[in-house]
Amino acid sequence: MTQLLYLHEPGVLQNLATRYELKKIYTYAGNILIAINPFESLPQLYNTTVMEQYKGATFGELSPHVFAVADLAYREMINKGTSSSILVSGESGSGKTETAKMLMKYLAYIGGRPEVERCTVEQKILESNPVLEAFGNAKTVNNNNSSRFSKFVGIQFSQSRSISGATIETCLLEKSRVCHIANGERNYHIFYRLCAAPPEVQEKYNLGSPKSFHYLKQSDCYELDGVNDADEYLATRKAMDIVGISEDEQEAIFRVVAAILHLGNIEFATGKEIDSSAIKDETRFHLNMTAELLKCNAKHLENALIKRVMKSPNEVVWRNLKAALDIRDALAKTMYSLLFNWIVKKINNSIGQDRNSKSIIGVLDITGFESYDHNSFEQFCINYSNEKLQQHFNQHVSKMKQKEYTKGETKWSSIDFVRNKAVLNLIEDKPGGIIALLDDACLFPKSTHGKFANKWYDADSFKNNEHFTIPKGSQSTFTISHNGGEVTYEADLFLKKNKDYVVVEYHNLLTTSRCPFVVGLFLSIPAKSSNSSKFLSIGSS
């Protein structure tokens, strides 16, 4: 890219397009690799022969390749003893996750131990990908295998420069997808794979077609082109074996997944009391199945869904129809989130961490920039994290160029990335940024999205920021001009989604389950009332 005669946007795009037509999906811009998603399998680019070619090769000597970036990080570690991180960024559907997997594949190859010792740390690191994809990826409008969480994998190396451990950190799991999916999209892969499991498994959990479950039938998309969910179920089980999840633990995991599907089929009608609700008789089968799978009392589960305990067990308030549906969905989202966190922790424990390691190569794969017809709190958090990554990139490139200019005694002037700074100030300033205002609103039980929205109209920091606009006639939407483009957010559910808590009623219910696995999930977090002023802010974390 740096060899172009005219280094401007049309020239860059033409260069990338020409290379893409020649099946050259990788291009260098200095030491930065640009990758264009080919949307097809290219196994000839990633086999052992190719890895051997890039092993120890001088960066830039061979054709641009993701293996060259991984090799550069490895050689820097060997020659200088420095740790580094490889950042993979881009829009949703641009191929970030596959790129991250290829980076890890190369590092596992070059840092692997003799064949007799393999099937340990390196293989567990690689097999963690299909497990986490099964539970954390889903089909979106732009991508059949979209990561709905962000991940950092820190691969540790011993003094002999072989892989000695690793740690996986995740954040921003899209919990709302468990209960709500847009048409043309799918829920998390694991739900469809379990519904396609062998007959004896389906019978055990009383499952069937995805079309029979509320959490899956909100969209008319049940299958993926070229993907067999029955085969993927077996592949997921095999990967779970390799990463150290036992048969008993897998059984418990799938009990919870099945319980979530049955929970979503519980429906409510207006109750006999004023502002109360009751479970519809025709869906009591799903109530009983949920209780059976979670190994808790069905009547106690029913009470947790339709009643709210106040300060003492004698003070009970009925939930109305909307509140009952909300608490059902809140339970489903909480269970899935806790299950996902348990799987990550289990994989980390199985891989093991080398406490003595002083050399780490990290691979960061964050959810890509998103802009849909309807954007909510999830897109806000995703795009905020992309802005932070862009800020880091700007600073890195600026410092790198300044060093080059200084070394070559070239005159230069400092580059000020005004756009990115202004957007980040808008989001994270204290006390006047969007997140700070959102957290303040969440502290008050009677806050509404209307009161939250009024803050935008009143604050000078919003009025004077050219990257923030409010659509005409809007009461609860705002537009941010991000580095990746303009996005209009619907803030109606921002307050609700920013609060992370576990409702007391079902926390008490499931910590007394007869299933130790379920008890362990809920004992890992404290219970808080939905009306409590104490909460964990998703936006701030």
How many domains would you assign to the chain?
2
- Same domain for 146 and 80? yes
- Mean of the pLDDT values across residues 2-9? 69
Active site residue 461: no
Distance, CA of 314 to CA of 533 (rounded, Å): 23
Q: With cut-offs at 50, 70 and 90, classify the pLDDT of residue 119.
A: low
Using DSSP, state whether 187 is helix, strand or coil: coil
- Same domain for 360 and 389? no
DSSP code of residue 176: G
Structural domain contains residue 489: yes
Q: How much is the pTM?
A: 0.91
- Same domain for 37 and 121? yes
pLDDT digits (tens, 9 = 90+) for 226-278: 999 999 999 999 999 999 999 999 999 999 999 999 999 999 999 888 889 99
Which residue is catalytic, options 146, 187, 348, 367?
Answer: 146
Q: What is the CATH number of the domain that holds 466?
A: 1.20.58.530
pLDDT at 440: 87
pLDDT at 418: 58
Q: Which of 461, 480, 497 is the last residue of a domain?
A: 497
Helix spans in 138-185 (H)? none
DSSP code of residue 377: H
Active site residue 92: yes
- Same domain for 367 and 412? no
Which residue is catalytic, options 111, 154, 362, 368?
Answer: 368
290 is in an annotated binding site: no
94 is in an annotated binding site: yes
Active site residue 143: yes
Alpha carbon distances (Å) from 242 to 190, 239, 274, 438: 18, 5, 54, 43
- Of 262-266, 434-438, 443-447, the range with the highest mean pLDDT is 262-266
Q: With cut-offs at 50, 70 and 90, classify the pLDDT of residue 5.
A: low
Q: With cut-offs at 50, 70 and 90, classify the pLDDT of residue 450.
A: confident
Structural domain contains residue 322: no
Structural domain contains residue 484: yes
pLDDT at 528: 61
Active site residue 404: no
Distance, CA of 155 to CA of 84 (rounded, Å): 10
Which residue is catalytic, options 27, 89, 97, 488?
Answer: 97
Give residue 337's identity as a one-letter amino acid code. S
- Same domain for 41 and 105? yes
Q: Which of 371, 405, 439 is the last residue of a domain?
A: 371
- Same domain for 468 and 394? yes
Which residue is catalytic, options 37, 84, 93, 162?
Answer: 93
Structural domain contains residue 317: no
Active site residue 337: no
Structural domain contains residue 76: yes
Active site residue 533: no
Structural domain contains residue 56: yes
Between 163 and 5, the more confident residue is 163
Dihedral angle of Cα 331, 332, 338, 341, to the nearest 10 degrees? -150
Which residue is catalytic, options 174, 185, 370, 387?
Answer: 370
- Same domain for 365 and 433? no
Q: Which of 371, 401, 435 is the last residue of a domain?
A: 371
90 is in an annotated binding site: yes
Active site residue 146: yes
Q: Which residues of 495-530 are buried (b: 16+ CB within 10 A; e: fewer)?
A: bebbbbbbbbbbbbbbbebebebbbebbeebeebbb
- Same domain for 476 and 365? no
- Same domain for 362 and 472? no
Both tokens assigned to 172: 């921003």
92 is in an annotated binding site: yes
Structural domain contains residue 325: no
Active site residue 368: yes
What residues have CB less than 8 Å from 480, skipping those under 6 apart? Answer: 383, 423, 426, 427, 467, 468, 486, 487, 489
91 is in an annotated binding site: yes
Q: What is the CATH number of the domain that holds 76?
A: 3.40.850.10
- Same domain for 388 and 448? yes
Which residue is catalytic, options 128, 147, 359, 367?
Answer: 147
What residues have CB less than 8 Å from 408, skipping those under 6 apart? Answer: none
Structural domain contains residue 223: no
- Same domain for 359 and 428? no
- Same domain for 452 and 361? no
Distance, CA of 64 to CA of 311 (rounded, Å): 64
Q: Which domain holds residue 117?
A: 9-177+354-371
